[in-house]
Structure 1
């Protein structure tokens, strides 16, 4: 791991880091932690999350001569010292160094791994990997490998040492990666279903879970750190996976976690403002996404949403072939037939002919996700019939417009992960499309320690499309939840505020929305989706919108019969 002591690279800000439930009004009498304390809390919680989810299994020991490892993984490197030593493991965590480890000194958000070289050497490191111009000191008698970028080197060394690089060189595992602000999880589920229909076993790594075939792990972050990522892909390949479908976050790309992976297909869904607390500005966010496509080899394929304003910028310096999708005349495009509460019916027009699709997933945005999956499948030379069956087989994605049913309820309750203004707008519009005359209530909040500028934008998206609005807590993390809510409410104008209720306690907000729902109404619980926790002040307690909603329905209508 790397978000803790020696080599902290900075935690992934879209990670599922721990927290606790807002049960009752959260008071802000005591001072809120400063930034350094918040970062330390995230680091500790990420470590706990990995341990609690048994994310890592001890991989089989691999012993490789340093000279061979460097030659294969980072041939640009220069070795100072005896390169005949043997490497037993690769790590960027000085505390996990054992005899024979290759310690990679990565510069993180809070700490610099170069400050822990002496500690790593004292723990028995076989070699130290540093950035050019950084010296471990004359008193450290350990071979030193100098590289231009240690985060890049970590990913390359981890892939080579774990065996992933060899597996990919042999063609035993093909990887499909998807990046974008919205739609990544849905794409992955659709893509995996298509692969299944085509007779291929595949692993899935993303925001919801890591499915490695022999075991499934709740995901503590969208894209795992370099070392763990390589180990998981090897585990999946050894379990029989011919493909891996994975979400690639902007944090992972910025921190070069995926630089050791050969992607056969890379998909760009869309780009709207998000994670600007980490990337600082939109151009940096876009540049991070672009990395995935710049790294593609010429024989790979880039699949892009041609109707996104950033599509051409994403493809800058991309050497791979390109497939475009959209609602116009792109390589893969859709012609909508009907969109109802039961799903979407549409024609997919492809370079190999049309497909008529009846998908249980609702909303225009899910037609776009289906186009992306179809284009990626075409790049992998999967047949049209398998594509159709794969799309139609996916009837829901956990926490993505997921229905919470009760046989006696005369209204609908939906849970969705929408946590950006664009995602919230898309989901609300989807509901409006299939239920245009039904009252619509939305319950939402905004996460703490994240981009504050999107908070009033979320309010405006809700005000534009919902009849009633309940603003509540999301994952406040180390911020004062009442202060977050104030920043959200600032986005409503005077007319909108008459339709807005504020309840700090998310459980109470959900319960009240369901208790007051009228026949025919649609209640949308937005922001947390599949998440089974709520983060408050460095703690994580159980909280699941779906469970809370089901309990509220039972309280109002009794147990299901």
Structure 2
């Protein structure tokens, strides 16, 4: 693609060089520029002149042929740079602009795929993997972008962010197209929406799972957090579809500026929630120790399913996955029945150990918000013969308001609580624990062990064969971040080791 084709119609100005230069690589990361590949355009984003100057110099040293930066930085940067470099300027160099350039550079991949975006505080990962399973099982090859991994239709890689930056997002979707995908399911975080990372994406379906207090370190208030989530639905076209959990109080916020067709999803009975013609219902018939028996009603008719998931919240996840799948595939009973073969989601109420091991039932879950912790404990309580023990911590350098709230939930719903570290990042673990302790009732005794490995060993040693132990917060993660370094750490492996020690 020639530079003038890439920048046509954009609020960009050519300051020096030729607009006829071929562009073969687009990057906002200097590490992705190679002197072996000519035609690299480097996009200098940011608000700090010193940092931008450093990145521009690195990009040129790496072999960048074209530099795009904010017009305010041009006068100080350009005189010190080789005159052979082509310069572009703009008045706003942000993720929105990067997304527009990336979509054009990669030939609009989001228009070549059926894009399903899922947003909400909890349930995004499970719903996305359920939906991808349904589509793949019905012959619609589907890629996945989310918290745990990125699958481009051919290979799977560990994810760095729930929602990648705009440039990486378009590149992944382009690979999906090349690999034969017809659809892509992606988790859409509030940070990504707030920063405009997905503004250039053409969504065909958007799902709202729920909203609870989270990320207030970034959004400051719940209203601002909800407003960020609602951006996904405001950008839908009239031809798109919004799948909405109408049992959530924030559902009207999501729909306020939405012009798309709406599919309401509810676990309320028709008597308490008058249905529209396309309302999808689910009713939990039975919750077992390793499955859930749920009745689903929607465009596919009425079907009872035995799903390999536990917990009432997974009825919502499955219902919304089915509703979205019915938009993209013919809504038949056969489609719905494919849900019964959906594999368990790693780190989501995942049992640890083998069916033959002796000792307590140990379950690992990603619950790291008060709402998610409540769902996990409520799901495990009916399955617990003895005591319900909960181990959890809170992430460092993140929303501090939820720390005490998580303690209050754990102390209310669990019989014994162990407070430990999650990912402290650069915060002192004890400072995080002190914030958690503010939510512990005065009459409640909890055990404190900052070392998560020792805490897991401790809580499992304290449990009897009739007890259930919930290890909450890290789920599928295989690391623990301390002082900016990620050390290998997996709750599941530590739990297995503790169970083995207990049985000897």
Q: What per-residue deviation string (whole Å, max 9, x for no partner) do you get for residues 496-539 of structure 1? A: 2x2x1111111111111111211211011000000001011111
Contact kept, 8 Å, 1:413 with 1:524, in 2: the verdict is yes
Contact kept, 8 Å, 1:117 with 1:136, in 2: the verdict is no
Unaligned 5+ runs, structure 1: 1-63
Contact kept, 8 Å, 2:295 with 2:302, in 1: the verdict is yes
Contact kept, 8 Å, 1:225 with 1:252, in 2: the verdict is yes
Unaligned 5+ runs, structure 2: none
The match for 1:548 is 494
1:106, CA displacement in angstroms? 1.9
The alignment status of 1:154 with 2:91, answered yes or no, reads no
Q: What per-residue deviation string (whole Å, max 9, x for no partner) do you get for residues 251-303 of structure 1? A: 22222222332211111111111112222322332222122222222211111
The match for 2:46 is 107
Written as runs of structure 1 = structure 2, the 5 A alignment for 1:398-547 is 398-406=346-354, 407-435=356-384, 437-496=385-444, 498=445, 500-547=446-493
1:135, CA displacement in angstroms? 5.2
1:408, CA displacement in angstroms? 3.3
The alignment status of 1:84 with 2:20, answered yes or no, reads yes
Match of 1:134 among 66, 72, 84: 72
2-side partners of 1:552 and 1:335: how far apart? 38
2-side partners of 1:307 and 1:109: how far apart? 44
Contact kept, 8 Å, 1:343 with 1:360, in 2: the verdict is yes
User: TM-score normalised to the size of structure 2?
Assistant: 0.90
User: TM-score normalised to the size of structure 1?
Assistant: 0.81
2-side partners of 1:109 and 1:473: how far apart? 34
1-side partners of 2:48 and 2:312: how far apart? 38
SS at match of 1:136: helix
Contact kept, 8 Å, 1:106 with 1:114, in 2: the verdict is no
Written as runs of structure 1 = structure 2, the 5 A alignment for 1:21-32 is none
2-side partners of 1:148 and 1:409: how far apart? 61
1-side partners of 2:495 and 2:63: how far apart? 53
Q: What per-residue deviation string (whole Å, max 9, x for no partner) do you get for residues 449-508 of structure 1? A: 111111100000101100000001111111111111111112111112x2x111111111
The match for 2:139 is 199
The alignment status of 1:256 with 2:196, answered yes or no, reads yes
Contact kept, 8 Å, 2:115 with 2:203, in 1: the verdict is yes
Contact kept, 8 Å, 1:196 with 1:390, in 2: the verdict is no
Change (3 A) 1:196 1:109: farther
The alignment status of 1:265 with 2:265, answered yes or no, reads no
The match for 1:366 is 314
SS at match of 1:475: coil
Contact kept, 8 Å, 1:107 with 1:114, in 2: the verdict is no
1-side partners of 2:48 and 2:399: how far apart? 17
The match for 2:185 is 245
2-side partners of 1:366 and 1:381: how far apart? 22
The match for 2:288 is 340
What is the aligned length? 485
Change (3 A) 1:482 1:545: same
2-side partners of 1:453 and 1:102: how far apart? 42
Q: What per-residue deviation string (whole Å, max 9, x for no partner) do you get for residues 1-35 of structure 1? A: xxxxxxxxxxxxxxxxxxxxxxxxxxxxxxxxxxx
The match for 2:324 is 376
2-side partners of 1:144 and 1:504: how far apart? 51
Change (3 A) 1:301 1:395: same
Q: What per-residue deviation string (whole Å, max 9, x for no partner) do you get for residues 60-92 of structure 1? A: xxxx11111123xx5454555543232222122
Contact kept, 8 Å, 1:105 with 1:150, in 2: the verdict is no
The alignment status of 1:390 with 2:326, answered yes or no, reads no
Contact kept, 8 Å, 1:83 with 1:143, in 2: the verdict is no
Contact kept, 8 Å, 1:155 with 1:260, in 2: the verdict is yes
Change (3 A) 1:217 1:327: same
SS at match of 2:72: coil
SS at match of 1:230: helix
1:216, CA displacement in angstroms? 1.2
1-side partners of 2:500 and 2:58: how far apart? 57
2-side partners of 1:184 and 1:65: how far apart? 39
Q: Which range moved further: 233-242 or 134-143? A: 134-143
Contact kept, 8 Å, 2:110 with 2:170, in 1: the verdict is no
2-side partners of 1:301 and 1:130: how far apart? 37
Q: What per-residue deviation string (whole Å, max 9, x for no partner) do you get for residues 140-197 of structure 1? A: 763424254532111121222133x0x444x3x2221111110011001110111122
Q: Which range moved further: 278-287 or 525-534? A: 278-287
2-side partners of 1:95 and 1:340: how far apart? 50
Contact kept, 8 Å, 1:455 with 1:491, in 2: the verdict is yes
Match of 1:144 among 80, 85, 88: 88
Change (3 A) 1:502 1:109: farther
1:382, CA displacement in angstroms? 3.3
Q: What per-residue deviation string (whole Å, max 9, x for no partner) do you get for residues 109-138 of structure 1? A: 99864775566567664444345x635127
* Greater RCO, CA 8 A, separation 6+: 1
The match for 1:303 is 243
